Amino acid sequence: MKVTFLGTGTSQGIPIIGSNHPVCLSENPKDKRLRVSVMVEWDGLNILIDCGPDFRMQMLANNFSRLDAILFTHEHNDHVAGLDDIRPFFFRQGDIPIYAHQRVLNSLKKRFDYIFVTENKYPGAPGVKEHIVTDNDFEIEGKIITPVSYMHNRLQVYGYRMGDFAYLTDIKSISEKEAEKLKNLEVVVVSALRIEPHHSHFNLAEALAFIEKIQPKKTYLTHISHLLGFHEEVEQSLPENVHLAYDNLKITIDEK
Ligand SMILES: [Zn+2]
Ligand SMILES: [Zn+2]
């Protein structure tokens, strides 16, 4: 399994438009972060998690020409705004399978009504095939996906476990029962917004405490704000086997 970090920034991305913050002015490419998303390549399947406003540039930067499924975590704009840009994949492949909580599908239908209409659909609009995610495992072409439910302040979000890899973004709290699904991971990706506490995201200390609890072999932090600090400085401060993700980082996860 190969995972490409397409974007690792919080909702505004880094740099923030017009900001003079030193991290926004940094010339280190690792301090430039598009909105969060990963592509998971798993036995020939290209599974995208979230499809934010930077989706088009992310696909071009990484030369992806096929998309087998999109898993949505939740309906916030930084995770869904790129859905129209699946058009090149739709034109080549037909309807693109999307997986999301019913609530998230409802939100997508409001934002992108023209994608979901069945009558008099504009011929240039993309098409999707909807799948409702519940707390139960589901399959994509024989591969088992385990949804992991947690809270983003008062909003429910799904993270996803695939084999020994799990991706959890926009997390603030998780029940013991759901955390049980995160045992024996090779790699976990978890969001860590900044140093100071935040009402709907783990800050760095909360993310590290969570990792301590689930004990994955390796962790990558994502959904990073400029307020977390410079990539190189934060990276050096982290415990062993915990890293900051950065845009276009590719990692390989060996299957047991
Ligand atoms: Zn977000
Ligand atoms: Zn969010």
Q: Which residues contact 201 (CB under 8 A, 6 or more apart)?
A: 10, 152, 170, 171, 172, 191, 192, 193, 194, 223
- 201: which 2 tokens? 């995201």
What pLDDT was estimated at residue 122? Answer: 94
What pLDDT was estimated at residue 4? Answer: 98
What pLDDT was estimated at residue 255? Answer: 78
Ligand that lies nearest to the alpha carbon of residue 104, given by its number in the listed order: 2
- 43: which 2 tokens? 């036995």
Contact call for residues 201 and 191 (beta carbons, < 8 A): yes
- 191: which 2 tokens? 């969001």
Contact call for residues 142 and 45 (beta carbons, < 8 A): no
Question: How many whole angstroms from 202 Cα to the centroid of ligand 2?
Answer: 12
CA distance 83 to 187: 27
Question: How many whole angstroms from 10 Cα to the centroid of ligand 1?
Answer: 6
List CB-based neighbours of ion ligand 2 within 5 Å.
Answer: 76, 170
Question: How many whole angstroms from 130 Cα to the centroid of ligand 1?
Answer: 22
pTM: 0.97
Residues of the chain with pLDDT under 70: 256
What pLDDT was estimated at residue 42? Answer: 97
- 45: which 2 tokens? 């399947």
3-state secondary structure of 226: helix
Q: What share of the chain is helix, strand, coil (3-state, %, to 5)?
A: 30, 30, 40
Question: How many whole angstroms from 11 Cα to the centroid of ligand 1?
Answer: 5
Question: How many whole angstroms from 200 Cα to the centroid of ligand 1?
Answer: 10
Ligand that lies nearest to the alpha carbon of residue 10, given by its number in the listed order: 1
User: Which tens digits make up the pLDDT trace of 121-147?
Assistant: 999 999 999 999 999 999 999 999 999
Question: How many whole angstroms from 170 Cα to the centroid of ligand 2?
Answer: 5
Output phi, psi for 182, to 5 deg.
-110, 25
Ligand that lies nearest to the alpha carbon of residue 79, given by its number in the listed order: 1
CA 128 distance to own-chain centroid: 19
Residue 9 gets which letter from DSSP? B
